[in-house]
């Protein structure tokens, strides 16, 4: 069964003024759709086309680079849309808050380290908060790679991620990745991040 672009779950304008509607529309309808289409094309008539996305990512070193790039792109964006909310930004609570303090010292320190990972990712890629066994780790990956890939430097299950490709922010912020990242904290769906911690 072919992979599909799932509903965004909110309007393109829902994350204004932090992420603008035009960026959301292009990002979702053009960029994400292209990853889905190219992934399906790359898998067509191969033994891999019946596998789950997670299985593909876990075997990515054995697969064509088109599966790595577009399978990663589909997974990363599907996750990213769920991690954003127009009533976000309230900050983590409960177990997630405790886990962040335990791992990084404080919520502010976590934000600083995560932002630094996102700022220092040269070129296109993602910054991640991952669950790795009982630990939380911050990492970043190039292109559409992610920590579920068998060849990832830091492996784990991503529970928060931020897209730092220029297509994610250039229309509104141009080269100012720092301003985009500062705005990002206002639209993080912490309830969703907390759910992923417990999975």
Residue ranges that bind Mn ion, judged by CB under 5 A? 163, 165
Nearer to Mn ion, 99 or 164 (CB): 164
Nearer to Mn ion, 145 or 163 (CB): 163
Smallest gap, in angstroms, from Cβ of residue 168 to Mn ion?
5
Smallest gap, in angstroms, from Cβ of residue 134 to Mn ion?
30
Residues 191, 188: Cα–Cα separation, whole Å: 9
How many residues does this entry show for the chain? Answer: 199
Residues 69, 43: Cα–Cα separation, whole Å: 12
3-class DSSP state for residue 128? Answer: strand
Smallest gap, in angstroms, from Cβ of residue 79 to Mn ion?
11
Q: Which helix (H) or strand (E) holds 195?
A: helix 190-198
Q: In the structure encoding, which two tokens stand for residue 174, read together?
A: 């141009």
Nearer to Mn ion, 80 or 104 (CB): 80
Nearer to Mn ion, 3 or 104 (CB): 3
Smallest gap, in angstroms, from Cβ of residue 124 to Mn ion?
8
Smallest gap, in angstroms, from Cβ of residue 143 to Mn ion?
11
Nearer to Mn ion, 23 or 99 (CB): 23
- Inter-axis angle of helices 177-184 and 107-120, to 10 degrees? 150
Taking CB atoms, the residue at the shortest distance from Mn ion is 163
């Amino acid at each position: 069964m072919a992979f599909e672009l799932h509903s965004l779950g909110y309007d393109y304008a829902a994350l204004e003024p932090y992420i603008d509607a035009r960026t959301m529309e292009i990002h979702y309808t053009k960029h994400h759709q292209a990853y889905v289409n190219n992934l399906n094309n790359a898998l067509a008539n191969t033994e891999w086309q019946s596998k789950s996305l997670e299985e593909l990512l876990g075997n990515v070193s054995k697969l064509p680079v088109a599966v790595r790039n577009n399978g990663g792109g589909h997974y990363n964006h599907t996750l990213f849309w769920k991690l954003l909310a127009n009533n976000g930004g309230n900050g983590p609570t409960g177990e997630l808050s405790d886990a962040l303090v335990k791992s990084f010292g404080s919520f502010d320190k976590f934000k600083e380290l995560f932002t630094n990972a996102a700022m220092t990712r040269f070129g296109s890629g993602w910054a991640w908060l991952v669950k790795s066994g009982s630990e939380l780790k911050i990492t970043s990956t190039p292109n559409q790679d992610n920590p579920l890939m068998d060849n990832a430097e830091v492996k784990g299950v991503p529970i928060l991620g931020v897209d730092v490709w220029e297509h994610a922010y250039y229309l509104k912020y141009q080269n100012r990745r720092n301003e985009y990242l500062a705005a990002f904290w206002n639209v993080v769906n912490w309830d969703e991040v907390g759910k992923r911690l417990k999975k």
